[in-house]
Amino acid sequence: MTDVTTPQPTPESPIPTRERLLRAAAGLFRNKGYSGTGLAELLAAAEAPKGSLYHHFPNGKSDLALAAADWASEQMLVLIDASFTPAPTFQEGAKTVCYKLAKLFDKQGKWSGCPVSATLFEGPENEAFHQHAAKLFEGWITETAAHARRLGLPEAEARAAAENFYILLQGGWQLARVRRDSDVIRGLHLQMHTPASAPMQVQKNN
């Protein structure tokens, strides 16, 4: 979830080809979709020749897409953990996730979509792609639910809260993208379903 767009081959840390490919793929797929990204463009962005691609990912574009989705998903999990672990409450953790994501969006001027969905939703109508996406998404929810439980939410509510948070995040992500306004994401936590909290008042930024 860090800077994805630029491979930036820093002299002291020459990013290995395989990871350059992953980063370029994740970045491009997020912006232009799986089928919207050509191999030529991808290889140019990764500064890698075609031979390297098919060496590291024998099945070519589809292999790369799955791996790139994994990579991006992992970044998201790291962000989730980093946000919830030090949080005093689930609400606070969720808020931190929103703010971190919003900040990321601001930093990298591009308004990319969710990497996993962008990569895997279309692509070939391949069932493997769909199941892969499903697995990654459920991973986010499961991880979030674990934090919810740890932070004191009862078993039943924990999973529901995680799902709800995920839904808000995806929807907000999309609206933020279409408006190019990261404040949409920052405001999400105010909308969160809080089963046993005080009645909240609407305080959006517009």
Partner DNA sequence: GGTGGAATAGACCAATCGGTCTAGGAGGGT
Partner DNA sequence: ACCCTCCTAGACCGATTGGTCTATTCCACC
**Candidate list 60, 86, 152, 171; residue touching DNA; CB under 7 A:** 60
Nearer to a second copy, 93 or 113 (CB): 113
Q: Is 61 in the site for DNA (CB under 7 A)?
A: yes
In angstroms, give the least distance from the CB of 132 to a second copy.
10
Dihedral-angle region of residue 10 (phi above 0 means left; psi in -120 to 50 means alpha; beta otherwise): beta
Shortest distance, position 37 Cβ to DNA, whole Å = 6
Provide the token pair at 70: 């994994």
Nearest CA among 43, 41, 54 for reference residue 20: 43
The two three-digit tokens of residue 190, written as one number = 């105010």
Q: Give the C-alpha separation, 177 to 190, whole Å.
A: 19
Q: Least Å distance between CB 192 and DNA?
A: 39
Nearest-angstrom CA–CA distance, 15 and 184: 34
The H or E element that residue 116 is part of is helix 115-120
- Residue 62 interacts, among DNA, a second copy, none and using kind-specific CB cut-offs from 5 to 8 Å, with DNA
Task: Tell whether residue 39 is a contact of DNA (CB under 7 A).
Answer: yes
Q: Determine if 59 is a binding residue for DNA (CB under 7 A).
A: yes
Determine, following the binding rule CB under 7 A, whether residue 23 of this chain makes contact with DNA: no
What is the full DSSP assignment across 87-106? Answer: -SSHHHHHHHHHHHHHHHHH
- 44 binding DNA? (CB under 7 A): no
Closest CB 100 distance from a second copy, rounded Å: 18
Write out the residues near DNA by the rule CB under 7 A: 16-18, 35, 37-41, 48-52, 54-56, 59-62
